[in-house]
Amino acid sequence: MHVVAVLSVAFPLLGHAQESDVRGRLGRLTKAVERIESSAADRDSDVYRSNIPLARFKLRKALAQWRAPFEGEVEARDTLDEAAEALDRHDAGKVAFEGETGHLERAYFAQNDDTAQPYFVYVPEDYQPKQRWPLIVFLHGYVPYTSIIDPWVLYEEHERIAADAGALLLTPYGRRNTDFQGVGEVDVLAAIEETKRFYSVDPDRIYLCGPSMGGYGTWTIALRYPGMFAACAPMCGQTDMFVWWPWPHLTAPKCKQFLGEWDNPIDLAPNAVGQRCFLQHGEFDRLIPIEQSHMMRWEMDRLGTPIEYYEHKDADHFIYQHELCFQKAFPWLVQHKLDRWPKHVRLKSYTYRYDTAFWLRILEYQRWSQPGQIEATVEGNRISLTSQNVAQVRLSLSKELLDVGQPVTVVCGGKEVFSGVPKGEAITVKLAEPLTPEKPGAIRKRKGLCGPLEDVLNGPFVVVPGTAGSQDQTQELTDRATKWCAEWDAFADGIPPVMLDTDVDEKTIAERNLVLFGTPETNQVIADIADRLPVKIAEDGYTLGGHTYTGPDLGLALCYPNPKNPERYVLIYAGEDPGTNLGINHKHDLLPDYFIFRAGEKNGYDDTYPHLCAGFFDLNWEFDPTLMDAEAAPADPYFGSATLVRDATLTQPVAKVTNGYADPLRVTIDRGEEAVIQPGESIERSLEPGRHLFTGVCPDGVTRTEQRLMVPEFRYEWRVPALFPAGWP
C-alpha cells in the first residue's frame, strides 16, 4: 500500500542518532517479515497465523522498548530474539507455542488497520488438547500508561486461580484503554476467535469478567451478545455512564441520548434474560461508587433477572488486586454451561451490529435512531412475541426449543403472524411495516453498513488525505491526516494504513472503508463522489436538507456508504477538526452519521463542539429532518453531583436537596408538586425506587435538571448549585 512519506515524520523509526545493532537487526528482520507477507501462499494456515503476526508485533514492541527511557537495548534485543524465533518457526513449518504452558504473549493481525495486536493466554500445566476446556476472558482495567511494553495483565497467582478452576485464561489487550467499545470490542472478539483456533475451547463454556473499565466492558459486551457467554462476572464497573460522568440525559440532543444509551449497560439490562451474572464491588469504592452496582441489581430485579452479588466489606475500588476477588469469580464461572435454546429471550438493540439474542434476530427496524425491543416466550410449539420498533425477525429453531416436525404458531401482540410446519431451520416473521419503506435502488441500512461514524473504523479502512488543491492546502491536509493517525495510535495502539487520493484504486475501494480528508476541490476521491453524497460540500460551507451552513470555523464529519461501492463506507472530514476538545479515548464514539459544527467552545453535555446540525440518516441512508438535531442550544446545567450516604435500613431511596443560593430555590420532582426551599434550608423526600426527574429553577432563572435511577439503601444529597462543576467524576 502506498504510504504518504511525510507521515513517517510523525513516527520516526528510531529516536537515537547513533547506529546500533538493534537498529540493524530491526531493519533486517522487518525486511524478512515483509518478504514472507508478500509471498505467503497460505496466510490462513496455523503456521503463518501463529508466527508472522507475532514476529511483526515483536518488532513493534522492540522498537518501543528501545525508544523508552525505562526499557532500553537489553529488553529490545531479547524481543528481537523472539521475533527471529517466530520467523525460524515459520520457515520450519512449526506452529508457535505448541505444547507450551504458562503465560504466553501471542498476536494476530487486526482486520481494520492491519496492525499486529497482542493478546495473552495462560495455559494450565495439565492442559491436554484432547479435551474441551473452559475459557475465562478477562478484561483489564484502565491505567493511563498501559502499552504494548507495559500491558495490564493479571498477577501470576491470580492466573493460577483460573488454572486451579480448570480453565484457560485469555486477557485481550483491548487496543489499550478503549473502554472495550468499538475497536476495543472488536479486539476482544478477535482474541477469542484466535484462542479458539489454537486451543481446545469448549464453546459452551466461555466466560467474561473484568474489573473497573473491564467491568464496564464485561457488562456491555455480555449484554450486546446474549448467547455468546455462559456467564459473566463484572467487578466494580460502571453501569450507568450518565450518572457516573455525569452527563445530562434528557436535556442532551436526541443523537447524544441515543449514542449514550447505546454504550450504557443499564439501558441494555433487558438483554440479561437467559444469562448468568455474578457481581462484586467494594463497600467504600470512591472511584466507581458502589451505587453503580446497586442500580444494576435493582434494575435486574425489576426485569425479573436477578443476579448474584458479593460485597467486599471495608474495601475500596481495588478489590481486584487481591486473590479473594478471583477466588470468588473464577470457580463460580466455570460451574455454568451455556443454554443455547432458552425458552425465554429478550433483546433490546440500538443497531444491526447487535441484532441477535440466542435464537432470535432482528432483521429490520421500523424506524432508525430508536432502540428495537423484542421478547419471545416458548410454550409447547407456540412462540409468543411482544415487540417495539421491530418490523421483521428471524427465529432459529431446534429440537431443544420445540418439536420442529409439528406445526408452529407464532403470535405477536395477540395476533397470529405465522402458523405451519417450518420448512427449514428458521422462520422469518414480519411484525409491522417499516416507517421508512425500502426504495428501489436505495442503499438500505443493514448489518455492517448502518453507521454511525465509529462503525467505519471497526472494519478495514485506509486514511486518504487530498492532494488536488494548492501546495498549502495539500500540506494542511497531510498535517491533518498525520495528526489523526497519531491520535489513532495513541488511542488504539497502531498506525493505520495511509495512501494519497491519487493512489486510491478499484481494489482499495472494493476492500476498504475510506477515511477522507478534504473537499471536492482538494481531494480527488471526494470530487469523484461529491454529486452522490447527501451533503453538498463547498469550500465556504455545507448544504444538507435544503439548508446551507456558512461562516467561519465550520467543520463536517460525514459517514456514508461509498457511492462507488455501497458495501463499504466513506468517512469525510472537511474543515475544522471535530475532535479537538475530545479526550483521546472518545474521538469517534460521540458522533452520529453526520455532524456539522462551528469550532469554538465545548458544549454543555460532552466535549464535542456545539453542532449546527447533527443526526442520523434514515433506513434508506437518506436525510430525514425528524432524525436531525438542529443547532445546539446551551444545555441545561446539571442539577448537581449527589453525595451518596449508604444506609442499609432504608427500604426506599431518600432525596435531600439543599439550597445553596442566597435566594429561594424552586424544586420539582417528577413534574409533581413544586417545593420552595429557602436559602440554606433543605427538603427531604422518601421516593419509590426507580427513575426520577429533578428540576430546579434557580434564583438567576437558570433551570437545572437530572434524571437518576434511585435505589434502596441510599440517601441522595444534593446541594444546588453543585459544589463541583458538571463533569466532575
Span 210-236, mean pLDDT?
98
- Check pLDDT > 80 for residue 558: yes
Which of 575 and 7 is assigned the larger pLDDT? 575
Q: What is the pLDDT, as a whole number, of residue 14?
A: 40
The torsion angles phi and psi of 602, rounded to 5 degrees, stand at -70, 155
The torsion angles phi and psi of 476, rounded to 5 degrees, stand at -60, -45
Task: Count Cα atoms within 13 angstroms, Cβ side, for 449.
Answer: 19
Cell numbers describing residue 382: 407456540
Question: Is the distance from CB of 257 to CB of 241 less than 8 angstroms?
Answer: no
- Check pLDDT > 60 for residue 723: no
Cell numbers describing residue 646: 449508604
Span 115-133, mean pLDDT?
98
**pLDDT tens string 273-311:** 999 999 999 999 999 999 999 999 999 999 999 999 999
Q: What is the pLDDT, as a whole number, of residue 522?
A: 98
Span 552-565, mean pLDDT?
97
Strand order in the sheet with 536-538: 536-538, 541-544, 547-550
C-alpha to C-alpha distance for 594 and 559, rounded to whole angstroms = 6
The torsion angles phi and psi of 99, rounded to 5 degrees, stand at 80, -5
Q: Label residue 8 by pLDDT band (50, 70, 90).
A: very low
Span 322-347, mean pLDDT?
98
**pLDDT tens string 482-494:** 999 999 999 999 9
- Check pLDDT > 80 for residue 4: no
CA distances from 388 to 355, 362, 372, 564 (A): 14, 11, 6, 35
Cell numbers describing residue 256: 447524544
Indicate the pairing of strand 360-365 with strand 382-388: unpaired
The torsion angles phi and psi of 126, rounded to 5 degrees, stand at -95, 15
- Check pLDDT > 50 for residue 155: yes
Cell numbers describing residue 526: 471526494
Q: Among candidates 634, 600, 598, which has minimal Cα distance to 613?
A: 598
**pLDDT tens string 616-653:** 999 999 999 999 999 866 556 667 778 899 999 999 99
- Check pLDDT > 70 for residue 325: yes
- Check pLDDT > 70 for residue 464: yes
The CB density around residue 499, as the number of other CB atoms within 10 Å, is 20
C-alpha to C-alpha distance for 574 and 455, rounded to whole angstroms = 19
Instruction: Report pTM.
Output: 0.95
- Check pLDDT > 70 for residue 13: no
**pLDDT tens string 165-203:** 999 999 999 999 999 999 999 999 999 999 999 999 999
Cell numbers describing residue 469: 488543491
Cell numbers describing residue 71: 526499557
**What 8-state DSSP symbol labels residue 613?**
E
646 strand-pairing partners: 714
Span 105-114, mean pLDDT?
98
Span 701-724, mean pLDDT?
84
Q: What is the pLDDT, as a whole number, of residue 639?
A: 75
CA distances from 140 to 3, 74, 237, 631 (A): 34, 28, 11, 39
Which of 608 and 684 is assigned the larger pLDDT? 684
Q: What is the pLDDT, as a whole number, of residue 20?
A: 66
Cα angle value 29/32/35 (rounded, 5°): 155
C-alpha to C-alpha distance for 662 and 678, rounded to whole angstroms = 8
C-alpha to C-alpha distance for 472 and 439, rounded to whole angstroms = 43
Q: What is the pLDDT, as a whole number, of residue 673?
A: 84
Mean pLDDT, rounded, of the chain:
93
Q: Label residue 246 by pLDDT band (50, 70, 90).
A: confident
Question: Is the distance from CB of 665 to CB of 677 less than 8 angstroms?
Answer: yes
Q: What is the pLDDT, as a whole number, of residue 601?
A: 72
C-alpha to C-alpha distance for 392 and 364, rounded to whole angstroms = 5
Q: What is the pLDDT, as a whole number, of residue 726?
A: 38
Percent of the chain whose pLDDT exceeds 90:
84
The torsion angles phi and psi of 301, rounded to 5 degrees, stand at -60, -45
Span 459-474, mean pLDDT?
98
**pLDDT tens string 413-453:** 999 999 999 999 999 999 999 999 999 999 999 999 999 99
Amino acid, single-letter form, for residue 396: S
- Check pLDDT > 70 for residue 206: yes
543 strand-pairing partners: 536, 548
Which of 17-31, 280-294, 348-362, 480-494 is the least confident region? 17-31
- Kindly calculate the radius of gyration of the chain based on its CA atoms and give it in whole angstroms: 27
84 exposure class (CB count in 10 Å sphere: 0-12, 13-18, 19+): middle
Q: What is the pLDDT, as a whole number, of residue 144?
A: 93
Q: Label residue 1 by pLDDT band (50, 70, 90).
A: very low
- Check pLDDT > 70 for residue 19: no
Q: Among candidates 107, 128, 131, which has minimal Cα distance to 195?
A: 107
Percent of the chain whose pLDDT exceeds 70:
94
Q: Give the three-state DSSP class for 192.
A: helix
Reading phi first (left if > 0) and then psi (alpha if -120 to 50, else beta), residue 698 is in beta
Span 123-147, mean pLDDT?
97
